[in-house]
Each structure stands twice: as C-alpha cells, then as structure tokens.
Amino acid sequence: MQYARVRIVASTSVSRPIEETPVTALAAADGVDGVHLLAGGVADTDAPTYTLSITGSEDAVRTTLVDDPNVLEWDISSAEAGTVYAYVRFRAPPAVGALREHLTRDSLVVLLPATFHPDGAVELAVVGSQSDLSAAFGDLPEGLSATVLEVGPYRGGRLHRGTGLTDRQRETLRTAHELGYYETPRRASHEDIAAELDCASSTVGEHLRKAEARLVAEVFG
C-alpha cells in the first residue's frame, strides 16, 4: 500500500466559493493558529461530529463556536498550554460529505489528524493502492484541487511526521534547517533566521520551541 499527503484547497477555476464550515471558521479565526481533526463520527450524515485539537486561545474558540449558527452542539474538554480540545457537532454543507465519500472509496483510508489552515486549505494523508490514490486526486469533487506534498510506501503505520505544525512554525523550522541552524557547529543564529523571515529573533525562538516540542511529542507521545 502507498500513502499520499496532500493539501486540498478551493480551486481557482470555479466561480462559486467552497462553503465554510465551523471547522474552517475556527482555523481562520483571530487568535487561532491551527485546527487539527483528531477523530470523526463514522456515520454518513449531514451533521458530523468531530473532536478537534486547536492551537490558540480558549476565548477565540468559544467565541467562534457560540457565534456560528451551524454549530449544533459543542464542548471544550480541556484547554492548557495554548491547546484547546473540543467536541463539535455541526450542520455540514454537501461538499463535506462528498469529499469524505471520495477519499474513502475502494481501498482508500484517511489518516488522522487532518490539519485545517487559515486560508481554507486542509492537509491530510490518505492510504490506499497506487491506482486508487491516483484516481482520487486526479478527479476531486467540483471546486477542489489538490497539491501532493509527499508520497511513499505505507509500512508499519509510519509516515511523515510534523503535520501538527502551524504554517508559521513549519516555515521557521524549514528556514532554520536551510540556514544550517541544526548543523554542528551551528551556521546560523536566531538573528540570522529572523532576518530571513523579517521578524523578531524572539519570535523565531518561540516558533522553534513550539515546533520542536510538538515534533518530540509526536515521536514519543
């Protein structure tokens, strides 16, 4: 079996926008850096239930869920160290069910977590036969397009790590790697990385600490 990690976005080739859901609204909310789908109900329904890990403030999560008329039921199970764990049942547009059905047909299985980004994109991994993967991402439902980020053999449940990073954490980590921050001896400092990203060196330190902590948790947690 093979896996493909992909980024799915609304296609620019269609005039109608993809309908927003409470999950995409959370990802785009001020005070939220990323939303990770940890588990979802298996029933084929237009009112799915998700458990989410949300990187951001509890106030931002509460405000977004309270204000969204499509949220049917929600609860925050815990909120600590900048991560909010929430249960959400919501009224979903047909596009959600169509994508779920499309990515679970034939041999395909979606691996969680799936990460929702502020720009409306969702990043996830799918396992299946090579022919089924090619067919699925070559013919997505109308209004969607996919960029394949990584492919490879799926062995022992292991594949790409780091899907829980926010876009900014990933960019900072990539820049640090490219500049030689992780080489021995180090060839770059926080100041060098900050100059490349046009931000403060303290911001670089914060992004690197959070990214490294999440990667360590994924490996050993």
Convert the pLDDT of each residue in 64-115 to its tens digit. 999 999 999 999 988 887 889 999 999 998 888 888 889 999 999 998 889 9
Least confident residue range of 36-45, 106-115, 161-170:
161-170
pLDDT at 159 over 90: no
The whole-number pLDDT of residue 75 equals 95
| Rounded-to-integer distance, Cα 120 and Cα 104, Å | 21
Which token pair is 7? 């980024």
The whole-number pLDDT of residue 18 equals 56
CA-nearest of 89, 88, 92 to 46 is 92
The domain locations on the chain are: 2-153, 167-220
| Rounded-to-integer distance, Cα 3 and Cα 113, Å | 14
R_g over Cα of the chain: 18
pLDDT at 22 over 90: yes
What band does 17 get if pLDDT is binned at 50, 70 and 90? Answer: very low
Name the residue with tokens 């992004």: 207
Q: Which residue has the higher pLDDT, 166 or 26?
A: 26
At CA 97, angle to CA 93 and CA 99, rounded to 5?
110
Convert the pLDDT of each residue in 126-135 to its tens digit. 999 999 999 9
